[in-house]
Amino acid sequence: DAGVIQSPRHEVTEMGQEVTLRCKPISGHDYLFWYRQTMMRGLELLIYFNNNVPIDDSGMPEDRFSAKMPNASFSTLKIQPSEPRDSAVYFCASSLNAIGYTQYFGPGTRLTVL
């Protein structure tokens, strides 16, 4: 298997622009997680899905952030409008079966908002 795939790997945009990050989980994994990583706050869970249904979005910082999972093989994280403080590395991860099992992380998207 190719592992978790994320695109783009790097994104540079200007404040106010819309940003869409994409993720393809490992085939057969029922759970998908979106994380944000910064030096100050470490790894923060933003939202996770089970069987394409959002379960917990309490980590989403504000209404500018939204995530969707239209099918088992694709998810998006959208920021609209983007702000400089959104600059971070965003990771997608997937896991098999249930919470409390190995999460497989993608390579991340490094977002820079100017």
Binding residues for other proteins, rule: CB under 8 A, are: 4, 33, 42-43, 45, 48, 56, 91, 93, 99-100, 102-108
Spatial CB neighbours of 86, under 8 Å, sequence gap ≥ 6: 19, 64, 79, 111, 113
Instruction: Tell me the closest approach of the beta carbon of residue 81 to other proteins, in angstroms.
Output: 27
| Alpha-carbon gap, residue 114 to 96, rounded angstroms | 37
| Alpha-carbon gap, residue 29 to 25, rounded angstroms | 7
Instruction: Tell me the closest approach of the beta carbon of residue 101 to other proteins, in angstroms.
Output: 8
Question: Distances in Å between the alpha carbon of 111 and those of 12, 31, 67, 91?
Answer: 6, 24, 16, 11
Closer Cβ to other proteins, 82 or 103, answer by number: 103
Closer Cβ to other proteins, 15 or 51, answer by number: 51
Instruction: Tell me the closest approach of the beta carbon of residue 34 to other proteins, in angstroms.
Output: 11
